[in-house]
Amino acid sequence: MEDQGKKLVVLACSGASNTGAYSDLAARRLMAGGKGKMLCLARFAVDPKFAETSKRELETLGDDGELVILDGCPVNCAEEIMKKSGFMKYRHINTTDFGIIKGKTPVTEDKIGEIVKAVIH
């Protein structure tokens, strides 16, 4: 069941493969639909001050907020970047958990919708 009051902060892989496209497009759909706020994953890797500020902001949300990391493939770059930035409390979703095969599964609106549903439920 969807938690109407939960503020989602989404970080997504935007890798070169179809799997990265899926995670990025799902995050953008959530943001466009007002279901979440998307932050720049790459910035966490290069800007420790941004990471620390973001961490404090997420902590102020408490139980009203949730960090969701969308990864595109089993390498889990997004999750690894966030771990190295000191983030340990998050929900991790990988596009390959939806039967998407890296380099093979065409990007479709239906599959993007499936990922979006998993994030908001």
pLDDT in tens, 27-65: 999 999 999 999 999 999 999 999 999 999 988 888 889
What are the two backbone dihedrals, phi and then psi, of residue 37, each rounded to the nearest 5 degrees? -110, 130
Give the percent of the chain with pLDDT over 70. Answer: 96
The residue among 24 and 61 whose pLDDT is bigger is 24
Q: Tell me if 18 is assigned to some domain.
A: yes
**Which CATH number does the domain housing residue 49 bear?**
3.40.50
What pLDDT score does 4 carry?
57
Place of tokens 């899926």: 22
Number of domains present in the structure of the chain? 1
Q: Tell me if 2 is assigned to some domain.
A: no
pTM value surpassing 0.85? yes
* 6 band by pLDDT with thresholds 50, 70 and 90: confident
Cα–Cα distance measured from residue 67 to residue 47, given in angstroms and rounded to the nearest whole number? 18
Angle at which helix 109-120 crosses helix 18-32, to 10 degrees, equals 60
Query: Which residues constitute the domain of residue 56?
Result: 7-120
Q: Tell me if 27 is assigned to some domain.
A: yes
Q: Tell me if 35 is assigned to some domain.
A: yes
What pLDDT score does 2 carry?
44
Lowest mean pLDDT, pick from 61-65, 66-70, 81-85: 61-65
Q: Tell me if 87 is assigned to some domain.
A: yes
Q: Tell me if 99 is assigned to some domain.
A: yes
What pLDDT score does 43 carry?
95
Average pLDDT, the chain: 93
In single-letter form, the type of residue at position 62 comes to G
The DSSP line for 5-54 is: T-EEEEEE---SSHHHHHHHHHHHHHHHTTSEEE--HHHHHH-HHHHHHH
Q: Tell me if 1 is assigned to some domain.
A: no
Calculate the CA 110 to chain-centre distance: 18
